[in-house]
Each structure stands twice: as C-alpha cells, then as structure tokens.
Structure 1
Amino acid sequence: MNAAEDSSTRGLQSIALDPDRLFPAEPSVRGIARELHALVAELPILSPHGHVPAQVLLENSPFEDPASLLISPDHYVTRLIHASGVDLAELGVGGASAEPREIWRKFCAAWPLFDGTASGYWLRSELVELFGVDDELIDAEHADPIFDQLVAALKTPAFLPRALFDSFRIEVLATTDDPLDSLDAHRALAADPSFTGRVIPTFRPDRYLNAATPGFAERVDRLISEAGEGVAGYQGYLRALQNRRAYFIQHGAVSADHGVRTPRTLKLEQAEAARLFEAAMRGDLSPQERDAFEAQMIYQMARMSVADGLVMTVHPGSFRDHHTPSFERFGPDTGHDIPVPVSYTEGLRPLLNDFGDSPGFQLLLFTLDETVFSRELAPLAGFYPAVYLGAPWWFLDAPDAMLRFRSAVTETAGFSRSAGFVDDTRAFCSIPARHDASRRVEAAFLARLVAEKRLRGDRAAEIIVDLVDGAPRRAFKLGAFKSGAFEPSAFELGEGSVR
C-alpha cells in the first residue's frame, strides 16, 4: 500500500496529497496547469547538480535512522531550528554526537517553524507521500511514535538507497567531487551490472582556485605532485588541473562547477598570473590580489572547458561560513552561508569576449540575487550562444521564487535558454518532492500564458516537456531523450482553455 492509499484509509486529507498543490487558485487556469503537469509528472528525474555521495548507492546499506537521513545533513532544516535557539550540536550537525531520537524530538517540536517555507513543503511531501506519516500528528507529543514508524520503514528493502533511486525514477544523478577524489565509487557503480542507474561525478575545484581557503598551498602542492607530470610552478598547476578534468571525463563527468563569491573574471598575462600563483603559494597575496588570482583562474577554467567540453556552471553570490564560531565548531556547509549582491555583466565580460560564442562551450549561470534575473542574466543568455540560465537554487528554489524567475527571464530570453531544474541537495529523500515542485511551478506559469491567450495549448505542452527533460539534457550534455516519444497533438486542453 502506498502512502496516498494508506492516508486515504485513515481518513487523512493532507495538503501534501492535494493533486492541485502549487497550481493557480482560479479554476480554469488550474485546470490547464493540471493537464500540463500530467504530461511531465512521470518523466524520469535528471539531477545534474547535487551532493548525495556515490558511496551511499555503492554500499546500498540501510539508512541508520530518520534524523541522520532527514534532519542533520539538511542545512535548510537545521538553520531554521537553530534560529529558534537550538544549538547545532543538538541537531547532529557537522558530525556532532547527538542521540537520533532526541534530534527527531527537537525537529517535531519545531515543525510549526516550517509553515510557508520551501523546506516545509518538501518535508511534508517526503513524510506523507514516502513514509505515510499523518502530518496532522507532527508535534512534540507524537515525535516518538513517528520516529518508530520511520525506523521500521527504513529497515525494509523498499527503503534501501538503490530501491529508492529506482522508485524515484532517477535517470541521472550527479555528485560533487574534489579534483583529487579517486572516483572509486563511481567506477564501481558503473561496473556493477546490478545497478542500472547513471551516477556521474562533477569536477569542483573551488578549494584549489581560491587562495583564501585554509590549506590552499598544501592542497595545490599535492595536486601538482599527483597530476602535474613532473612540471613545477604555475605551468604544473595548470597541467594538473587539466589532467584531473580529463580523469573526471573518463569517469563520466559532464560538468565542472564553481562556487565563487563573485562571477568576476580576468585575463592576465602569463607572467602576472605566475607571479600571483607563486605569491599565493607563499601566502603573500593581498586580499585584492587573491580576488584577482581567483578571477583569472575562473577565466582559465572557461578556457579549459572550451578545450575539453565540460559544461561550466557558476554558482556565485554566497558569503560562505558567515558565522565563524559555527564554522570552527562544525565546519563548512552547516547552514550559515548568506547571499550577497553580485554583478555579472562587467565581471564576465573578459570571459565572454573570448569564449561567449565558442562552439561547444556552455556556461550555466546561477544566482542568489533576484535583482539580476531580468537586468543581467536574461539579456546575457539572450545574446551569447554559450550562456544558459541556471534554475533558481538554494534560497531561491522555492515556489514563489521560481515563478518570479520564470516571469523575469522569459520575456527577454524565452524558454530555450533554460538549463532545467537542479535540486542541489544532500537530502536524498527530498529529490522527488523538489523536482515535482519545479514541474508544478512550470505548469502554473505556462497555464497562465495559455489562459491569457499569449501561448497556444499545444506549444505549452511542448514547452513543459522540454523544460523538464530536453533543457537539462542539452545544457548539461546528458544525451538523448529517453522518456518515449511525445506527440503534442495528443495533448487536449480542458473546457475553456486555448487550443
């Protein structure tokens, strides 16, 4: 019995099971959205940017408990509970020792904090649809029985990682990996005939490009030693990065991801770049020189992408590890990264002047700054063949923010410059809910255009399938459409809609 059937037998009428969730309130527009969503609801999930470790699928071991699966690794969840006064250590953040049942009790007590939030929407969907939880009972009083219910579910074969991977209909899952990662887990998965999914690595060189990160010189020394082919200095550094990119491509990688503070790029003379590199290795760079070094290395990453074909994704605009005491206690990626304003037009000009129309080069631009949707990103994507619009991510991957994005960029860049949705998550069980939320938002936006006589229904049908499936395949070079033929003539809009 699935969660929806179980909920029905118990009389549960959860909003997580409402078939019209996230659709427009106006009945005729809602009907169009419902039919558009039906076209893509069962399409496979393409997840070309995420953070679920490949080792989880390789080992295929039962998840230990609900807290370590759903709460501790998800900084969307822990940051908001922490804002109410709960110490991150009490939530098991950063490997802190905390009893799973106690973590779960704190989460259930904090459940009202998630009303109206994107994370609350995903959590409710996971708990109700996947685990069959009665969301009317999520509170401090019922924390223990719900915990026991989830523990029992996690012990069953249906909740093993590979079984969930299949039931989620994931076709492609990308991980995020250090340039010196052996990729042994990816190689073993690819060679395992019992696993038919596609799990691909992503080259993430941030800690080797930003000289301000602790341990920069030691990491770069190791990089050059292992992959520089005996060449020292700046040239050995570039050669080592190129060689590791090639290694990732051999193991299925399609993209290189860059989590930078700003999207600034610089094209420097080789002698000046080498001078900055040597100063960086000595720890002698000023803050301005560190920024210049990173900017010229982002330019170099683009040059390498033109040569080797890796899609270049850029995720700027986050002040990483904003709370120093939390960083020192729990490490990075523990919920205290804060968005900052960014500017793309001037910062990317050196890169785009040289590579913006280079055949095969694809640059996917993401942002945490909504002010640049229509002012910078859409115009850039509407001119440069290389530029694609990355989906709203992190703090913006919420229903209203995704609608604002689609409204802001479409009138300038159209639909064809979209790169598809990315879930960007460590929370494995939230992947289906996140992708479905995006599909519902796209259906809602397109339904309004149809109802306002701005788009024909058959074109809306073609577009939503392309946004969900075709766009990420093109933008991330994932290969051909595998979901079956789509015939727009088969889409019949309901009463009162546009044909």
Structure 2
Amino acid sequence: MTRNVARRLYDEVAAAPILSPHGHVDARVLLDDAPFPDPATLFITPDHYVTRLLHAHGVPLDELGVGVPPEDRDGRAIWRHFCRHWDAFLGTPVRFWFESELSDVFGLDEQPSEASADRIYDQLEARLAEPEFRPRALFDRFGIEVLATTDDPADDLAAHLALREDPTFHGRVVPTFRADRYMTPGTAAWAPALTALAEASGIDTGSYAGLIEALRSRRAFFRAAGGTATDTGVLTPEATPLPDTEAERIHLAALAGEVSTADASAYRANLLYRFAEMSVDDGLVMQLHAGVHRNTHRPTFDRFGPDTGHDLPAVGGYTLPLAPLLAGFGTAPGFHLVLFTVDETLFSREIAPLAGFYPSVFAGAPWWFLDSPAAITRYRAAVTDSAGFAKTSGFIDDTRAFCSIPARHDMSRRVDAAYLASLVVTHQLSEDDALGIARRLVDEQPRHVFKL
C-alpha cells in the first residue's frame, strides 16, 4: 500500500520543472554552448564527489585530471580508472546518479567495468558530438527552469549578462554572491582578494569602511544581474558585531601583516553579522553553510587547490553562535536565512527549532555528505515535527556535474514521495494533503525561500 501511494505522489511531480537555487555549474558553459570535450571532463574531473572516493581507493588525483591543464589530460585513461573502480560506488548516491545519467540521459545500457570502459567511452564520445547533447539542448531536455551559479563578488558576470540578452536562450541562470574569501584577514589570499574587489567596484578597499561599501556595491550589481541569494561557508557561525572603529583597526593590522588569531576570528564574526544586515537591507537571501573543515590535507591543497575532496565535517552548532544575528534580524520582514549542515544531529536539535520560531529561518536540505536517500529521509523525520514542511528550503543539488542535476532532483522527489506516503498510510496525512506537499516541495517552496 505504501509503495502504491508513493508512486502516485511521485508521478505527480516527476516531470515538474527543475528549480536549482544553489549549484556550481559555470554559466559560460551555457553561453558558449560548445560540445563537452570528452566523457572524463564531463563526468569525473570536476566532480569531487567522484574524485574523492577514487582517491580513497588509491587513484592519484592528477591521474583523474585534477589540477592538470585540459590539453594535458588523457580522458580515456581517466575513464578507465573510474570504470575499474565502479564497485567502489556501490550503495552510494553517486552510483545512482551515474546510472541515471548513463541510462536516462545518454541511452546506454552497459554497466561500467574494466572490460567495458573503452566501449562506453566511445559511445559517450560519439553522443557528445551530437547537437542534442550540447549544454543548451540538455538544459532544455532536463526541464531546468532556474539554475543558480556561485560567483565571487569581483566577477564581472559577463556570461550571466550575455545569457539574459541572448534571444536564443530561454532559461534563467542567476548568480549567487559568495564572499567567503573577504572574511579571512591574515591569510595569503585576503589582500589580493581586496585588490580584485577594489578593481571590480571602483572603491578603495584599503579600509574596513571601503570594504563594506564595495561589498554593498557588488551585491547591488549581482541583484541587477538577476541574483536573489548569497552563500557563505564558515567553520563556526559566530556572528557578533564589532564597533566600526575596532573592525577598522583589525583591517589595517591585517593589511600590515600583524593581525592576531583572536582578532581575525572577531573580524569574521563581525562580517557574518554585517552580511545579514546587508541582506535585510537589499533582500538577498542569506545561505549559511557551517561546520566544515576546509582543505584538511595540506599537501593536496598545496598541489591541487580547494574543492578537491579533502573538506571534512566538523561538530558545531547554530543556536548560540547566531544569537546576536537573530536578535538583530531574526524577525526582520523579508529576511530569509537558510541554514545547512553536514552534522545531521543539528537538524532536530537546533535547525528545526530555530526554523520553528524565527520567520526568517529555513532548514536547508541535506547537503554534501548527507545528499543520499537515507539521509534525506532522516532529515524529513528530524525537521517535520518541529518546523513542518513549509520551513524547509526545497531540494539543493549543489553540483558542478551538469548532467547529474536531473538525477539528483529525481532522487529527492522519490524519497520525499516515499516519506509522504509513510505519513499517509499511518493516517498522519490525507493523500490529498500529501499531493499538495509534494507539489509544494518542488515548486512553491524553493520559489518562496529563494525569492525566485
């Protein structure tokens, strides 16, 4: 009985347009609409969900094309590594995504293996040369209505602006304002980031006041380019304001190379508070990802850079660190704060209760290490009792792997249908109410939360 109800619920939303309010696909891929160069570049090299697990099984990252110039990559050799370790993905959501991509998108029916690697590679390479497998054709075929990217405040957003003016492109690609690197005084990347921001904004960022003015200016630029949201990733979400004079002192000390660890932490906490203050003023949705140790393996970071699979979960919390921010803005009209975690104990302990009181707070979907059928089900059970369905974010695919977008959204729709069906058969929901919720989760909810 549960399965029959779940099938009816899923059938109601299976073909609904995809709203992807948080992801990492490059807008230029759609602007240029060039054929994807090879299967490895499309499926493997840019996707740390894939490369990290292959690395865990002994495949060096450079042999997967990470950190290697495109012209020096051996796509076939990379693909062989992947197929040789296909069984490493058994039981993982990555396996489901790949099976869906290979079968549903590319029409292949052979399982990857060491023996089949070259045959599959040849078939995929042939498909990628066909017009219907170019980025824009796939965008339309996937039913993507809105695709959000993630962009530095200094980005000129040229691709986004060109797509908006292109009469042959009918989708909506919106930028997301990601200002993390301006929060880290004392690091090697901070001063160059300030320079880039000054060049983009035309505002001197040699002072704290100048930095704040430049960030406000660039936020307005992002809004004018169609952006509706910001995104911030921090290890701990302390958000405590500083007097402007104190923030200015730390800013100047950092530029002089004399900032202390305590002052750097206070500066970050102040900026997080100011980001919320800016969102109240300009209406951009504030997404907050906390509790991740970034770049834990220094040799890998030094050689390959960030986002190469060695970011790991940390234990953390939101209620106390965000208390000053929520005291100031938690009930501000129009303010939306979406909280994400990779520590799923936070869903029931902190995020759902916060969302169940503050009008501004929404429980972000399971993300990254929790982006799996079992974790999505646990999320629903953990959040629904305290906050219901209407205080959740809608699904977040958070992907750099363009062809995995429909598979990820489909998985979420199936899992939510199963969860709603379990409430129907235990008489906690009527089937009509469950149908309404299923529709809302894929449409009205992300539109509302992300102001789409």
| Range class of TM-score, shorter chain | over 0.9
> How much does 1:342 deviate?
1.1
Cα offsets for 1:156-193 (capped at 9, x unmatched): 01100000000000000011001010111001000000
Q: Does 1:62 align with 2:35?
A: yes
- Please tell me whether the aligned partners of residues 204 and 211 of structure 2 are also in contact (alpha carbons under 8 angstroms): no
- Please tell me whether the aligned partners of residues 183 and 271 of structure 2 are also in contact (alpha carbons under 8 angstroms): yes
Paired amino acid for 1:234: Y
CA 1:53–1:460 in 2, change beyond 3 Å: closer, same or farther?
same
Give the Cα–Cα distance (whole angstroms) in 2 for the partners of residues 376 and 259 of structure 1: 18
CA 1:431–1:180 in 2, change beyond 3 Å: closer, same or farther?
same
- Please tell me whether the aligned partners of residues 150 and 176 of structure 2 are also in contact (alpha carbons under 8 angstroms): yes
Q: How does 1:88-487 map to 2 (within 5 A)?
A: 88-95=61-68, 97-135=72-110, 137-227=111-201, 229=203, 233-478=207-452
> How much does 1:282 deviate?
2.1
How many correspondences in the alignment?
A: 450
CA 1:78–1:226 in 2, change beyond 3 Å: closer, same or farther?
closer
Cα offsets for 1:225-256 (capped at 9, x unmatched): 54254585111111000000001001000001
Give the Cα–Cα distance (whole angstroms) in 2 for the partners of residues 52 and 345 of structure 1: 32
Name the counterpart of 1:72: 45
Give the Cα–Cα distance (whole angstroms) in 2 for the partners of residues 231 and 203 of structure 1: 18
**Gaps (5+ residues) in structure 2?**
none
SS at structure 2 position matched to 1:51? coil
Name the counterpart of 1:484: none
Give the Cα–Cα distance (whole angstroms) in 1 for the partners of residues 257 and 371 of structure 2: 37
- Please tell me whether the aligned partners of residues 227 and 239 of structure 1 are also in contact (alpha carbons under 8 angstroms): no
SS at structure 2 position matched to 1:139? coil
> How much does 1:98 deviate?
3.0
Name the counterpart of 1:39: 12
Q: Does 1:30 align with 2:3?
A: yes
Paired amino acid for 1:50: G
- Please tell me whether the aligned partners of residues 40 and 468 of structure 1 are also in contact (alpha carbons under 8 angstroms): yes
SS at structure 2 position matched to 1:93? coil
SS at structure 2 position matched to 1:172? strand
Give the Cα–Cα distance (whole angstroms) in 1 for the partners of residues 138 and 205 of structure 2: 46
Give the Cα–Cα distance (whole angstroms) in 1 for the partners of residues 205 and 290 of structure 2: 32
Name the counterpart of 1:4: none
Give the Cα–Cα distance (whole angstroms) in 1 for the partners of residues 199 and 63 of structure 2: 41
RMSD of equivalent CA atoms? 1.2
Deviates most, 141-150 or 230-239: 230-239
Paired amino acid for 1:91: L
Deviates most, 308-317 or 285-294: 285-294
Cα offsets for 1:181-222 (capped at 9, x unmatched): 011100100000000000000110001112254320122134
- Please tell me whether the aligned partners of residues 344 and 376 of structure 1 are also in contact (alpha carbons under 8 angstroms): yes
- Please tell me whether the aligned partners of residues 48 and 476 of structure 1 are also in contact (alpha carbons under 8 angstroms): yes
- Please tell me whether the aligned partners of residues 64 and 78 of structure 2 are also in contact (alpha carbons under 8 angstroms): yes
**Gaps (5+ residues) in structure 1?**
1-27, 479-499
Paired amino acid for 1:265: A
> How much does 1:115 deviate?
0.3
Give the Cα–Cα distance (whole angstroms) in 1 for the partners of residues 375 and 412 of structure 2: 11
- Please tell me whether the aligned partners of residues 194 and 205 of structure 2 are also in contact (alpha carbons under 8 angstroms): no
- Please tell me whether the aligned partners of residues 57 and 161 of structure 1 are also in contact (alpha carbons under 8 angstroms): yes
- Please tell me whether the aligned partners of residues 228 and 237 of structure 1 are also in contact (alpha carbons under 8 angstroms): no
CA 1:213–1:159 in 2, change beyond 3 Å: closer, same or farther?
farther
CA 1:152–1:198 in 2, change beyond 3 Å: closer, same or farther?
same
| TM-score under structure 1 length normalisation | 0.89
Give the Cα–Cα distance (whole angstroms) in 1 for the partners of residues 63 and 314 of structure 2: 29
Identity of aligned residues (%): 55
| TM-score under structure 2 length normalisation | 0.98
SS at structure 2 position matched to 1:185? helix
Give the Cα–Cα distance (whole angstroms) in 2 for the partners of residues 213 and 64 of structure 1: 36
> How much does 1:132 deviate?
1.9
Give the Cα–Cα distance (whole angstroms) in 2 for the partners of residues 455 and 337 of structure 1: 39
Paired amino acid for 1:47: S
* Alignment match of 1:50 (pick from 8, 23, 29): 23
- Please tell me whether the aligned partners of residues 39 and 121 of structure 2 are also in contact (alpha carbons under 8 angstroms): yes
Deviates most, 213-222 or 268-277: 213-222
> How much does 1:288 deviate?
2.2
